[in-house]
Amino acid sequence: MEFKQVECFVAVARENSFSKAADVLFLSQPAITSNIQKLERELGMVLFDRNKNITLTKGGVKFFPYAVEILNIRDKAEIAISQHKNNIEGVLEICASTIPEQYLLPHIIKAFKEVYPQVHFSIRHKDSKEVIEGILSGMTNFGFIGAKYSHEGIKYIDFFQDKLVLITSPEKTFATDPISIQSLIGEEIVLREEGSGTRQLIENALKEKKLNLNIFRSQTINYSMEAIKKMVALNVGISFASDVSVKCEVASGRLKQYEVEDLNLNRAFSLVYCNNRYLSPAEEKFKEFVAKWKWDNIDI
């Protein structure tokens, strides 16, 4: 078994495509195919279903986390014997939910690249639940999310304290700020999809008050936070959003913001990773970097 074969396997599994894997690894597609075929012969099993969509077989799913660890251990060994111990390089693949991806992660990546310019990033958007599923399956090692799920081996590093606020169109007015949850009964609301950290926080906060989303007259579901803000600005309904995500719109008058006094809408955004998995040297450095991160003097 050669490292190049394992690299090709991991790339195809992550991209669900032989051609995209070839682009990522700067190889020809025939070279990717040849390496996969050699690996399959050596393992004595087919690793991919080659139908219209390229997907892992059951054997491929079993082999995937070991393949990732093989590559990470190789990287660790190369760094350990390198005379240039500070030469941290490689590609970090990160999955992030909406708010960290759009408003927080760019600042961290900019600062990290100033220290380690040879590290490159591949950022994928997923909701919080999908990020956890990707880490548990071994498809990725890192994620940034706004909700926590209890799973063995999953660890969290909190790096930003957040709160949800109620947002409305400029036309809509509530008599007080903060307002009571009772003031929202019968309102129309625009919500994120199930699986998002924002949606989970709202549902949990209502549950603490023995309430649920049925207090709202109607619900519109949208996967895009930017689209939700636009719909609220057009008075399609009210919504809840991270304070950090609506600063510009509130300052410009395109949205109004209120706090809801009887709902606990505070949360932490976290870096999530699998504690019992080998990480590459670049991943270890990035984890340490986030753990020490401070937001002092940073305009989000």
Asked whether residue 82 carries a pLDDT value surpassing 70, the answer given is no
**Cα–Cα distance measured from residue 154 to residue 136, given in angstroms and rounded to the nearest whole number:** 8
State the SS3 of 52-106.
CCEEECHHHHHHHHHHHHHHHHHHHHHHHHCCCCCCCCEEEEEEECHHHHHHHHH
Asked whether residue 152 carries a pLDDT value surpassing 80, the answer given is yes
Report CA 187 to chain centroid distance, whole Å.
Answer: 31
Confidence of residue 179 (pLDDT cuts 50, 70, 90): very high
Query: SS3 for 134?
Result: helix
pLDDT per residue as tens digits for the range 259-276? 998 899 999 999 999 888
Asked whether residue 226 carries a pLDDT value surpassing 60, the answer given is yes
Confidence of residue 131 (pLDDT cuts 50, 70, 90): very high
Q: Determine how many CB atoms are found less than 10 A away from the CB of residue 280.
A: 23
Asked whether residue 4 carries a pLDDT value surpassing 90, the answer given is yes
pLDDT per residue as tens digits for the range 201-210? 999 999 999 9
Confidence of residue 252 (pLDDT cuts 50, 70, 90): very high
Which tokens go with 225?
Answer: 């936070």
pTM above 0.85, yes or no: no
pLDDT at 70: 93
Asked whether residue 59 carries a pLDDT value surpassing 90, the answer given is yes
Q: Hey, what domains does the chain have and what are their CATH numbers? A: 1-84 (1.10.10.10), 160-267 (3.40.190.10)
Question: Measured between alpha carbons, how far is residue 37 from residues 53, 96, 284 in Å?
Answer: 18, 33, 32
- Considering only CA atoms, give the Rg of the chain: 22
